[in-house]
Amino acid sequence: MLKTSTTDVVPEKKIKAKQRQGFKLNAKDKYFASLFLGPSLLILGLFVFYPMFKTLYISMFLTNTLGKTTVYVGLENYVKLMSSPDFISSLWVTFVYVIAVTVLTITLGLLLANLASQKLPGMGIFRTLYSVTMGVSVAVAAIFWLFIFNPSTGFFALLSNWLNLPVVNWLTSPTNAMWAVIITTVWMHLGFTFLILLGAIESVPSTLYEAADVEGASSRFQFFHITIPMISPTLFFVSTITIIDAFKSFGLIDLITKGGPTNATNMLVYRIYKDAFYSGNYAKSSAEAIILTVIIAFFTLLQFKFLEKKVNY
Amino acid sequence: MASFDEKAVLKKVFNYILLIALAVVILAPFFIGIWTSFLPTMDIAKGNLFSTNLSLDNYAAAFTKTPILRYLLNTLVISTITMIAQLIFCSMSAYAFVFLKFKFRKTIFTLFLVTMMLPFEAEIIPNFATVKQMGLLDNYAVLIIPFLTSAFGTFMLRQSFMQTPIELKEASDIEGLNHFQFYWNIVLSYNKISMITLGAYSFLGSWNQYLWPMLTTFSNNSRVIQNGLKQLQSEETFNDWGMIQASAAIIVIPTIIVLFIGQHYFKSGMNEGAVK
Amino acid sequence: MSTVLTNVSKRYDSDKTVLSDVSAEIQTGEFFVIVGPSGCGKSTLLRMIAGLTQISDGEISINDKVVNDMAPKDRNLTMVFQSYALFPFLSVWDNVAFGLKARKNTSQSEIEERVNDALKMVNLEELKDRKPRELSGGQRQRVALARAVASDAKICLMDEPLSNLDAQLRIKMRQEIYALQRKLGLTLIYVTHDQVEAMTMADHIMVLHDSKVQQIGTPTEIYKHPANEFVASFFGVPPINILPATKDTGNLIEVNNDFKMEVDQQVPNDHFQVGIRPNELVIEAADELDANASIKTIEFLGDEKIVYIKMAHNNVEVAAIVASDSEFKAYDTIKVTAKNNYLVFNSDGVNITKSVEDVVNA
């Protein structure tokens, strides 16, 4: 579905021209419009717009433990957040995680897609196998990997024992816990990224490669000078999707590390959740939520801008 | 010249080795998980992964000792209803944006776009208060109502609907079809593929919900599978790995099978696109 | 110094033969056109010469070197694709430079010189910074040509390069390609389904049909002395009239009761066919008694008219070309006769016409 939206965007101007020709203003349209749009507007208004404003509102107040706003403080909550090393470290951790997840997912997805796009017998099997993680939900992925990371009975621990290597404490060391979360996230995203990139690679006209073959370009040269530029719109698209998804990560964190050890994986959404529903600090949580929103909105806008342009070349 | 041949063969062999190695790495967590789901927890705890005491005991335990079936049923019902609702409401609003002319159409569409920028994760505090006030907590409805529609789905279907040939609309106007008839009989069937895609997307999206159900459901009657698994995992103080892996397998195997079947259609679709 | 195909065959899955036993010698510096209807295997043959498709049997050698197992890039040739294969993300200039840069053995200054020369040659200097999507069809075609020109390869393969252009542009580009080939002394192997392109440009034409070579020859040979019925009907617009005939008394053959002609050669006693080009038929107005045919329709082409004629007997239909000022109209009754220029095909379609030289020698 995501592919559709990268490729099938009709420039706004064209639609307008089409509609000017095609549709006459019709009194009945108004009636149908409210009928067709009403339910969606109601739901979005109640569960997206209202809560957004409400969150913004709360973020400028102090709140009691029941979530009631008490004193208006303007931007003070934000100022406090920005000067709190705890929050800054959370932001930092989130950025590290997002960057690592995006770079690894895209690189691996590209490698897999490029390999599986070869015209060799049996490629269909590999395509299926590589896309398998698409069918894995958060909790299942967490359980599979928790077992692998488990320091006493886990697969990695056993492997280290057999190889006479020191057992790595995946979930108790801050750096390793971060890696554990990153690995699991990348693994989960890989199937989807692979499929989207494979589709993009397969839609590159084969004559381009043939022309390059005749001209004497090595396959390495072809990959960097034909494949990459030709699929760059899709690459950009999956990158933003991955970035946005990574910023919103919650399930895996809660299941694997619970933000620990010592806040090493306490990312934005997890912090929002804990500040509100553990500590009852609704104002602080709301301010954090607004910061998250700004970040997500930025990347979504980037994607929209790009969809409008449709192609990069 | 012969060297070209040899090189090509070598390259192929290398490619296959790489392909297989990568497949093994990617699938390892599955294999390990599913393999251990057949082993007694005692053996797993002792690190005896090559134990031959294979049995379905873990599965039997998962089904009888845990409410996993109930979790599955809850999730299935919630995901299905969410999917159907999104298909209906998203296609309706997409239809309005493409085929209806009304005041503020552009403004309302921009509102939808803005919605896509606002992460649900950032709105949990007021939303929690809302559903609490509506008395929906710990109920299927709390997991369905906020997701009856989606801005992304509307946007995606709008893109697809815009590709519907204008002649179809004109022909229907001549035949005297009203908007509802045109929407139901023509637009929906013409855009079947996008509808199926959105259906799959919204079903999976609902199936994978984690944060919201964690906040709003707290009994087995409405708990969904993702949170249910966590529940099982944290309740087991001695970490009954065999049973936990079995529960994970019970959930993942059906999705994988669906994916395998879907892959067949997916592949033929791909081939059609690739024919030169 | 030539490209030689020896018994080249291509089969897919053992039973699907795309090409069988193709042999030909393509001289260095000549314009060689491979022509045939779609599906005859002509593009496959070209791709096998390029090395993009493996050959099943036989041998291809370029300049006395067997290249069967050589990678395309080592064959030292260029190729222009039907779809032009332009890189949409590169400018015109970079598209032309692509191959030179890919090979990495050309210095920067030489690349610049060659690319600029090539662009000058196809009149694209001003557009060198444009992207392919900002070009018209003819301009894209020129970029593809420039890419071939910039390479130092002396063999250039073209796969239906003009088929995506409109009719007017096609004629213009045909002339440009021809001029380029002559100027650069390229060995040009050119695939097309268009007999006019083949006739106007080729030094030699290979006619492919049913995965076999039907004939190889100069345009004149192909037109005047087609090897068989297929070749005869493939060239010429409107196509040659092929009429089943039987032997009559003496030198006469009979197409039908009202249409007989004299031939000065032996013809088979049973079935055979006679081929008469539309411009070798003479028609004149005649009253119903003398007429042997009537006019079905007339197409006005400006400097001439094509008359479609239905014979009175056995309803055989033929086409004839007449001057554009002749005043025939549909349903006129006419008398059709043939000039003394015809072809005779035996029941297998093989041309058995006694050639002029044979007559002279006899």
Question: Which sequence spans correspond to the domains of chain C?
Answer: 2-233, 238-361
Location of structure tokens 């009928």:
A35
C132 shares contact with chain A (CB less than 8 Å)? no
**B7 and B139: one domain?**
no
B50 in the same domain as B8:
yes
Closest chain C residue to the Cα of A207, Cα to Cα = C85
Query: Is B43 inside any structural domain?
Result: yes
| C186 in A contact zone (CB under 8 Å) | no
Do B23 and B116 fall into the same domain?
A: no
Residues in chain B where the model's pLDDT stays below 70: 1-5, 236-239, 262-276
Residue C121's φ and ψ, nearest 5 degrees, are -60, -35
Tens digit of pLDDT for each residue in B210-233?
Answer: 899 998 998 888 888 888 888 877
Contact residues, chain C, for A311 at CB < 8 Å: 88
User: Which CATH code is given to the segment(s) C238-361?
Assistant: 2.40.50.140
Report CB contact under 8 Å: A206, B276. Answer: yes
Q: Quick check: is B251 in a domain?
A: no
What's the domain range around B19?
A: 2-58
Q: Establish if B256 belongs to a structural domain.
A: no
Which chain C residue has its CA at the smallest distance from A206's CA?
Answer: C85
Q: What are phi and psi of C292, to 5 degrees?
A: -120, 5
User: How many beta-carbon pairs under 8 angstroms link A with C?
Assistant: 75
Q: Is C76 left (phi over 0), alpha (psi -120 to 50) or beta?
A: left
Q: What is the largest CA-CA distance in chain A?
A: 79
Residue in chain A closest to B213 (alpha carbons) equals A251
Both B146 and B185 in one domain: the answer is: yes
- The reply to whether B9 and B45 lie within a common domain is yes
At A9 the pLDDT is 41
One domain, residues B72 and B160: yes
B84 and B20 in one domain? Answer: no
The CATH number of residue B76's host domain is 1.10.3720.10
Residues in chain A predicted with pLDDT less than 50, given as ranges, are 1-23, 311-313
Q: Does B164 touch chain A (CB under 8 A)?
A: no
Closest partner residue to C89 (CB to CB) among A212, A218, A230 is A230
Q: Which chains touch B (3 or more CB pairs under 8 A)?
A: A, C
At position B7, the amino acid (one-letter code) is: K
How many CB atoms are located within 10 Å of the residue A98 CB?
24
Distance in Å from the first CA to the final CA of chain A: 23
Tens digit of pLDDT for each residue in C88-127?
888 999 999 888 888 777 788 889 988 998 898 888 888 9
Two structure tokens written together for A227? 């494949």
**pLDDT tens per residue across span B12-38:** 888 899 999 999 999 988 888 888 888
d(CA C294, CA C311): 6
- Whether residue B149 lies inside any domain: the answer is yes
pLDDT of residue B264: 58
Q: Which residues of chain C have pLDDT under 50?
A: 359-362
**Alpha-carbon span A105 to A188, nearest angstrom:** 9
Report the gap between the CA of A203 and the closest CA in chain B (Å): 7
Backbone angles phi, psi at C32, to 5 degrees: -110, 120
B166 & B52 share domain: no
Q: Are B154 and B214 found together in one domain?
A: yes
The C-alpha atoms of residue B141 and residue B78 are separated, in whole angstroms, by: 8
Regarding the domain with residue range C2-233, which homologous superfamily does it belong to in the CATH classification?
P-loop containing nucleotide triphosphate hydrolases (3.40.50.300)
Q: Is A205 within 8 Å of C83 when comparing Cβ atoms?
A: yes
Same domain, residue pair B126 and B186? yes
How does DSSP classify residue B187? I
Q: Is B216 a domain residue?
A: yes
What is the residue-averaged pLDDT of chain B? 83
B38 vs A: CB within 8 A: no
Give Cα A129 to chain centroid, integer Å. 22
pLDDT at A313: 45
Q: Where are the beta strands (DSSP E) in chain C?
A: 2-12, 16-27, 31-35, 57-62, 65-66, 77-80, 155-159, 187-192, 204-209, 212-217, 241-247, 252-256, 259-262, 272-276, 281-285, 293-300, 304-311, 317-323, 333-338, 343-346
As given in the structure block, the two tokens for residue C171 are: 């004629």
Tally C-beta pairs within 8 A across B and C.
Answer: 11
Distance separating alpha carbons of residues A116 and B267, to the nearest angstrom: 13
B223, B135: one domain: yes
Q: Name the residue among A205, A213, A229 with its Cβ closest to that of C73.
A: A213
DSSP-assigned letter for residue C206: E
Number of domains composing chain B: 2
Distance CA(B122)–CA(B170), nearest Å, equals 44
List the single residue in B125, B162, B180 with the smallest CB-CB distance to A67. Answer: B125
Please tell me the distance in Å from B1's CA to the nearest CA on chain C.
Answer: 5
- The three-class DSSP label of residue A217 is coil
Between the alpha carbon of residue B82 and those of residues A304, B199, C164, C198, the distances in Å are 26, 9, 49, 63
The secondary structure of residue A168, as a DSSP letter, is: P
Under 8 Å between Cβ of B148 and B82? yes
Q: Is residue B155 part of a domain?
A: yes
A161-175 burial, b at 16+ Cβ within 10 Å, e below that, comes to: eeeeeeebebbeeee
Would residue C210 be called left, alpha or beta, if left means φ above 0 and alpha means ψ between -120 and 50 degrees?
left
B68-99 and B57-65 helices cross at what angle (nearest 10)?
70
The reply to whether B74 and B130 lie within a common domain is yes
Ramachandran sector of residue C14 (left: φ over 0; alpha: ψ -120 to 50; beta: rest): left
Predicted local distance difference test score (pLDDT) of residue A21: 44
The whole-angstrom distance between C81's CA and the closest CA on chain B is 13
Cis ω on the peptide bond leading into residue C278 (within 30° of 0)? no
Provide the pLDDT for residue C217: 93
How far B92 CA lies from chain A's nearest CA (Å)?
Answer: 5
| Interface confidence (ipTM) of the complex | 0.84
Q: To which residue do tokens 């309803």 refer?
A: C315
